[in-house]
Amino acid sequence: MQTPYTERDQASPPIIGITMGDPAGIGPEIIVKALCDPMLRSSCIPVVIGDRNILDREIHALHAPLRLYALTSFEALSPAHDSLLLVEASQLNAGDVPYGNVSARAGKALASSIQKAVELALTGTIDAVVTAPINKQSLHAAGYEFPGHTEMLAHLTGAHEVVMMLAGPRLRVVLVTIHCSLASVPTLLAPDAILKTIRITDAGLRTLFGIPQPRIAVAGLNPHAGEGGMFGNEEQTIIAPAVAEARGEGISVHGPFPPDTLFYHAATGAYDVVVCMYHDQGLIPLKMMHFDEGVNITLGLPIIRTSVDHGTAYDIAGKGIARPASMLHAVRLAVQMVMNRRRSADQCSRP
């Protein structure tokens, strides 16, 4: 077994574990397509964590020039341009998991691949985890009650405070609240929650993105950021105090700003990230700009995790038309984050 990343040869290619995702969705397809990209393989050693029969189904359906090779050891791994390196996490019959169907079988398999990937990352066997999309209904059908990937990963790694970031080439957004109703957002917002999000975002941008002094903008909740209390006072009573406390800690954070203009300024380079109060506030502008390029990142975990920013796309699963762009970007960003973390660890170890 490999030693943890802080002790492994820092010049070695990062080993990136890619979870299969929902076997009934487009996850296996976009993985196979991404692994055919020579530029991806030149930057890392990709290892898929999933099911042999499901991935073999995709290789044959796509006529992909890949040979599936099940790993029994991680010793002396090297880039293999025509192989799909696999860690087996489940044993399915492809016919038992038809495309586009919710099932407990699929849920159990996708959960097993996530669990195995986390195990490998926590022991330092792999350098990062990239996750393909899952179906929450299948996850629940298999007996797992997590709202989604982020919450499951937090549980498996023992992380108590995590933050969801979506990133593209020109815009990054972070969410204070995630999967909840819009009506419940004001009741869930609190200065402590916003301050925690700002702190984790600042630390993640420094260590994983290599930004020495991140410029963080905070969006207001209400139209025109409340217009001095005319349209709501959450900016004055909840958001501004958190921003002030973070600034007192030396974090370069500003706001709250009116959301209708803030994303323009962030996308044109004024800020490195926007802290958003709720899910759609951040994801609508992000996906409008970076629909095929967006990457989902979980900050606050003891491991590096990136993901595609789309779902299982049951409507096109098995048709061979799914685009692998987000998967390619997720792997490339994971590689960059590994290298930035290595540099950060190296700097911290110097006398």
Identify any residues that bridge with 27 across adjacent strands, giving them in sequence order. Answer: none
Identify any residues that bridge with 172 across adjacent strands, giving them in sequence order. Answer: 167
pLDDT at 232: 84
pLDDT at 270: 97
Identify any residues that bridge with 128 across adjacent strands, giving them in sequence order. Answer: 16
Rounded to the nearest integer, the mean pLDDT of the chain is 92
The domains found in the chain, sorted by start residue, are: 1-160+304-351 (3.40.718.10), 170-289 (3.40.718.10)
Does this model's pTM top 0.85? My answer is yes
Identify any residues that bridge with 165 across adjacent strands, giving them in sequence order. Answer: 174, 297
Taking only the tens place, the pLDDT of each residue in 260-293 is: 999 999 999 999 999 999 999 999 999 999 988 8
Query: What Å distances lie between residue 230 and 54, 235, 247, CA to CA?
Result: 56, 11, 26
Contact 68, 55 (CB under 8 A): yes
What CA–CA distance (Å, rounded) separates 201 from 165? Answer: 8
Contact 48, 11 (CB under 8 A): no
Taking only the tens place, the pLDDT of each residue in 180-231 is: 899 999 999 999 999 999 999 999 999 999 999 999 999 999 999 877 888 8
89 φ, ψ (degrees, to nearest 5): -120, -10
Q: Which of 195, 209, 185, 189 is nearest to 299 (CA)?
A: 209
Query: What Å distances lie between residue 79 and 69, 85, 110, 237, CA to CA?
Result: 13, 10, 26, 54
pLDDT score of 1 more than 60: no
In this structure, what DSSP letter does residue 93 have?
Answer: -
What CA–CA distance (Å, rounded) separates 191 from 128? Answer: 32
pLDDT at 137: 95
